[in-house]
Amino acid sequence: MQRMPLYVTVLAVAVPTFIYSWLVRRIDRFEKEPTKYLIAAFLWGAIPAVVLVLVIELILGVPIEAILGSSVASEFAQTAVVAPIVEEVVKGLAVAAVFFLRRREFDGWVDGVVYGSTVGFGFAFVENIFYILDTSTPGEWLTLFVLRVIVFGFMHGFWTSLIGIGFGVARHSTRPRTRFFAPILGLLAAIAGHMIHNGSLVLTEATTGATLCVALVNYAVLLALMIGLGILAARNDSTMLKTYLIDEVPDTISAADYAALSNTQKNAQAHFLIAPQRRRAFIQLAAELAQRKRQLIKLGYEGRMHDEIELLRGQLRQFRGEVASSQSSVVSSQ
């Protein structure tokens, strides 16, 4: 029996996990979430969530095995019923924590997708390492790696992102019912998707692969939804910037900058009359200004919202002034 070294497994799982996290973060085109909160979300999924899930599932598994014994029914109950409920509830706690404790950083459903998927990827990272380390030969290792990390590697992130979408919908709703039920519906959708996936895999093993197509269809739907969410997010950002930055022209931003910010095309940022290394800071400031104005208008935010908006306007004006000065210096030196 020849097992793969631990460091090989960890590195092999880490690379795709990083890529998945990076891809999801790209959905949030402008106002990127603070790295420290994303790291905290990932670590919650990777450590406390895994420990809690393991303990709870072991406790619940005892009466199930006592009643059903070592049978397909017992495996189905634990894998396709208990595991999805426990895992999604525990992972969802991190999304709820960001929503309630760092509400200002939770701006809508796009942020819900980013935080939810990050928690899910953290959970999947550790879970996949445990499963793959249990293999006995390099062939088994490779097969399980491809299935769990490549073919189905996006699943945990997707399921928990549904919880995040629920909280995101609640974030900008003014209806008490929506605020209450949207996160619950997001959790139920995550559990349902998780159940379908796990149930398909259990039946696949029991029927020698007869229901593998069900799991693959589930993954195809996931990919289609993620692509759709990316397109929808780009349009959502564009609409927000068009709506809430139009009255900032020309006092705060130029007409050219406004046109580039509100363009959904990938090459839109190339139209900024700013050096490439400074575009990100400018875009971040402009997106934060649009977001704060939307929050103020739609939610009537308390506290220092007006002061924050004026501060962002001042920073953007200063930014433009510095750029204009540098461009004038370049012209005069020529």
- CA distances, 255 to each of 60, 266, 273, 281, 288 (Å): 61, 19, 11, 18, 18
pTM: 0.78
Among the ranges given (208-217, 233-242, 281-290), the one the predictor scored with the smallest mean pLDDT: 208-217
Query: Quick check: 91 and 73 in contact, CB under 8 A?
Result: no
Query: Quick check: 31 and 288 in contact, CB under 8 A?
Result: yes
Work out the percent of the chain whose per-residue pLDDT is above 90: 37
Identify the pLDDT of residue 330: 44
Please check the confidence at residue 49 and state whether its pLDDT lies above 80. Answer: yes
Among the ranges given (30-39, 177-186, 256-265, 299-308), the one the predictor scored with the smallest mean pLDDT: 299-308
209 sits in the region (left: phi over 0; alpha: psi -120 to 50; else beta) called left
Q: How far is CA 175 from the centre of its chain?
A: 25
Q: How far apart are CA 219 and CA 72, in angstroms?
A: 24
As a three-state string, the secondary structure of 25-45 is HCCCCCCCCCHHHHHHHHHHH
pLDDT tens, position by position, 162-189:
999 999 989 878 788 999 999 999 999 9
Average pLDDT, the chain: 83
User: What average pLDDT does range 300-304 have in this prediction?
Assistant: 63
As a three-state string, the secondary structure of 74-131 is HHHHHHHHHHHHHHHHHHHHHHHHHHHHCHHHCCCHHHHHHHHHHHHHHHHHHHHHHH
Query: Quick check: 144 and 132 in contact, CB under 8 A?
Result: yes
Among the ranges given (63-77, 81-95, 200-214), the one the predictor scored with the smallest mean pLDDT: 200-214
Q: How far is CA 256 from the centre of its chain?
A: 31
User: What average pLDDT does range 114-122 have in this prediction?
Assistant: 95
Please check the confidence at residue 74 and state whether its pLDDT lies above 60. Answer: yes
Q: Give strand ranges (E) for 198-323.
A: none
Q: Which of 75-79, 143-147, 160-164 is predicted most confidently?
A: 160-164
Identify the pLDDT of residue 105: 76
Please check the confidence at residue 196 and state whether its pLDDT lies above 50. Answer: yes
Query: Quick check: 117 and 76 in contact, CB under 8 A?
Result: no
User: What average pLDDT does range 155-167 have in this prediction?
Assistant: 93
pLDDT tens, position by position, 306-330:
888 889 899 888 887 776 666 555 4
Handedness of CA 33, 36, 37, 42 (dihedral sign): positive
Question: If 0-12 CB within 10 Å is exposed, 13-18 middle and 19+ buried, where does residue 198 land?
Answer: buried
Work out the percent of the chain whose per-residue pLDDT is above 70: 84
